[in-house]
Amino acid sequence: MCRFMARDRTAHGKLALSTGIAMHVRLHIRRHAGRLAVALVAVLSCMPAALAWGPRGHRIVAGLAEAQLTPQARAAAQKLLALRGARHLEDIANWADALRDTDPALFRRTKRLHFVNFHSHDCIYDPPRDCRNGECVVAAIDKYSAILADRTNPPAERAEALAFVVHFVGDIHQPLHADYRHDAGGNDFQVRWRGRGTNLHRVWDSLMLDSTRLSAAQFTDELAARRTRVEAGGAPAQWAEESCRIDRDDGVYPRSRFIDQTYVARELPIAEQRLRQAGARLAALLNRDLAHG
């Protein structure tokens, strides 16, 4: 539970508007600057944590995946999408995050499914240790993929599973959603971005992608046009381990806590590669699960 600092009881009551009083206020602020800073940190730490990839990133993953669907999987997906008033995978890509506002109860039940906390820097996934009671993104993808693939399940249940799968496959490829540090996936790691304070998670969540000034559609087209091959295989546990190793080894955490252009030039290509991998792997998963309708 978040606790906010109590109001300083040494503060003065009503003050006359005079130069002398104004000087006293300035001295008081300087004297208690440390307390004010601590209070600000407390307020920021109580704000909701960012969720992996912003809306742009999740739409990119969905767009890349849809372009790689087989005719059979595309037809099956369109039937399920229609049940949710959608036409494309990108239309449902951010639904799991939007639950925070649209269905708080369901969001509370599923909020731990967006990430996995490794408990060792070796980045080896150990389910009893890292995914207790199946509450992590690795188990979530397996769970909802099985629901989606089972044609005996009600169509509405399969349609919901499709929305979760599309989102969680994006999540697991964001390096800070498979973290071993104790900083809430970078949410508690404060950095400077273009002269303003923010946290590392938000940099990876949206700020780096937004800095390209490309729309989700333009970004999707640009990534889809690249000829270099991406690995489309593997299982969710492997994808999480990859993210953890990137988080550990590839300079994701800046030593200076300043995000400059050198950092972006180094890390943005990694983010783009993860988006491409997520799109290819989501397509492979859906082509398998929806092969028979």
Which of 56, 158, 173, 201 is labelled catalytic?
201
Q: What is the pLDDT of residues 12-50, one digit of tens each?
A: 333 333 334 334 434 443 444 444 444 433 433 333 444
Q: Is 239 a catalytic residue?
A: no
Please give the Cα distance from 65 to 62 (Å, whole number).
5
Q: Is 210 a catalytic residue?
A: no
216 neighbors 90 (Cβ within 8 angstroms): yes
Q: Is 97 a catalytic residue?
A: yes
Residue with tokens 């929806």: 290
Q: What letter represents residue 195's amino acid? A: G
Please give the Cα distance from 212 to 184 (Å, whole number).
26
Which of 177, 202, 248, 274 is labelled catalytic?
177
Please give the Cα distance from 203 to 187 (Å, whole number).
10
Q: What letter represents residue 168's amino acid? A: F
Which of 100, 181, 192, 245 is labelled catalytic?
100
State the pLDDT at residue 293.
85
Q: Is 28 a catalytic residue?
A: no
| CATH of the domain spanning 50-293 | 1.10.575.10
Six-digit token pair at 273?
A: 């590669």
117 neighbors 130 (Cβ within 8 angstroms): yes
Q: Is 289 a catalytic residue?
A: no
Q: Is 249 a catalytic residue?
A: no
Please give the Cα distance from 140 to 201 (Å, whole number).
21
Positions of CATH 1.10.575.10 in the chain? 50-293
Q: What is the pLDDT of residues 211-250, one digit of tens each?
A: 999 999 999 999 999 989 998 989 999 999 999 999 999 9
**Whole-prediction pTM value?**
0.82
Which of 58, 173, 248, 276 is labelled catalytic?
58
The pLDDT profile of the chain, 293 residues, written as one tens digit per residue, is: 332 223 333 333 333 333 343 344 344 434 444 444 444 334 333 334 445 688 999 999 999 999 999 999 999 999 999 999 999 999 999 999 999 999 999 999 999 999 999 999 999 999 999 999 999 999 999 999 999 999 999 999 999 999 999 999 999 999 999 999 999 999 999 999 999 999 999 999 999 999 999 999 999 999 999 989 998 989 999 999 999 999 999 999 998 999 999 999 999 999 999 999 999 999 999 999 999 98
Q: Is 177 a catalytic residue?
A: yes
241 neighbors 123 (Cβ within 8 angstroms): yes
3-state secondary structure of 102: helix
The CA-atom distances, in angstroms, between 197 and each of 152, 153, 233 are: 50, 47, 38
Nearest to 175 by CA among 143, 203, 139, 194: 203
